Amino acid sequence: MLSIARRRVSPGGSSSSILGQSFRAIRPGVSAPRVYSTSGGEILHHPKGFGHVQNLCKLILPGCSASLGPMRGATISLTQRSTMQLQQRLFSSDSGDLVDAVVPFMGESISDGTIAKFLKNPGDRVEVDEPIAQVETDKVTIDVASPEAGVIQKFVAKEGDTVEPGTKVAIISKSGEGVAQAAPSEKTSDKATSQPPPAGKSEEDTQGAKVESAPVIEKKPKATSTPPPLPKHSASEPILPPKERERRVPMTRLRKRVATRLKDSQNTFAMLTTFNEVDMTNLMKLRSDYKDAFVEKHGVKLGFMSGFIKAAVSGLQNQPIINAVIDGDDIIYRDYIDISIAVGTSKGLVVPVIRNAGNMNFAEIEKTINTLAKRANDGTISIDEMAGGSFTISNGGVYGSLLSTPIINPPQSAILGMHSIVNRPMVVGGNIVPRPMMYIALTYDHRLIDGREAVFFLRRIKDVVEDPRRLLLDI
């Protein structure tokens, strides 16, 4: 097929047979046809020759589109396959009894990950598509599934390894033959043989051999020496704790990604925060009056987050600049409202997105929040569910935060911070009465958003939450 230069083929076709053997040596497991035609007994070549591995792969495997340049008298037909099928054929040898479990495709923007942990052990039985390992990326956690039902023969990677899509992680035996399984009795016997026999007994009692054990030589106790004096420290030299009292743990990919994005946000945006306070009396009364009927009809509880999301939608519609973003020398105005919700998990902060929040009612918002929060805590949330978003709401009040200045989530231009509800004395109608109050904060990019728009937006949040009837009358 290919050669460094054009070559004439003898009538016997010895050159083509040699090349065919070379290709079979390169990829013995591929059974796909190699479609080509020649004219005049010539073997055509690619300008980059065999040294160009990518083009060689494209010729051998269907599913790769290749531009082979000007080729006289030749036609090559390549079928289109999915990326997952190509990786499976490149990295998984499913011939015979053994199959390879490989790292799946992890997303367009993710090139590698770290093996966080193995969910199975060598010798364990697995079913088709059963997860056997987890790969942690800077966004989500990906499961490595078994391609066939069988028994795990061995792992070819270990925890902490950096892997790419298509990397082989384990070998699965479909029949379960040749898998070494260590029985519990073997482990205990190994420990028993490694320990010396007790004093006064022969090795025959422990190992069955007629060899008397060596006599025990009693050692005289060494004379205790006085401990060395502690080193003297000068008054200016601090006394540091010993290193044995410290633990060094590598950062997870998700934590490193969050740290990078937050620092980039701090270095890029001209962040400014404005504050206000909200009287939660009416929203809490609305929730109390209709919570049972709401659960009975919709199957979810009515929370405060849906009220703030509806208020944020109203504010973004009144102040569209809050929903915009700077891109180079341009301003991109978004005609949709996708609101991100910051969710704290045991592995780090994730921000799933509620798509088209402006078209949802209270029940639809609550159902979406519950689904995304559960998937985030379970570690099953996908990249698509966290991509995009035009505005973020962070509820630090669930942890008891009274006041904070949230950091913008790039590439957005603003973020709303909710906080805890505290009864405080307020003046209502000339009288001092206790009211459930919440501080709210809006951090915004001052390069794009002026103080006037930011204050008006926060006032709209306050007005709608304090009197939800405004949503019905659109005032």
Angle separating helix axes 362-378 and 304-318, nearest 10 degrees? 110
Q: Is 234 helix (H, G, I), strand (E, B) or coil?
A: coil
Query: Per the residue annotation, which of 94, 97, 446, 467 is the catalytic one?
Result: 446
Cβ atoms of residues 157 and 94 within 8 Å: no
**Cα distance between residue 154 and residue 121, in whole Å:** 8
Q: Is 217 helix (H, G, I), strand (E, B) or coil?
A: coil
**Cα distance between residue 391 and residue 416, in whole Å:** 8
The two structure tokens encoding residue 471: 């949503």
State yes or no: is 45 an active-site residue: no
Q: Residue 276: which residues within 8 A CB-CB, separation 6 or more?
A: 439, 440, 458, 459, 461, 462
What one-letter code names the amino acid at 356? N
**Cα distance between residue 186 and residue 193, in whole Å:** 11
Query: Per the residue annotation, which of 129, 292, 384, 450 is the catalytic one?
Result: 450
Cβ atoms of residues 110 and 257 within 8 Å: no
Q: Angle at CA 99, nearest 5°, toward 93 and 105? A: 75
State yes or no: is 446 an active-site residue: yes
Q: Residue 460: which residues within 8 A CB-CB, separation 6 or more?
A: 311, 314, 315, 318, 319
Cβ atoms of residues 371 and 354 within 8 Å: no
**Which stretch of DSSP H or E encloses residue 294?**
helix 281-298
**Cα distance between residue 239 and residue 428, in whole Å:** 57
Cβ atoms of residues 354 and 339 within 8 Å: yes
**Residues annotated as catalytic (active site), given as ranges:** 446, 450
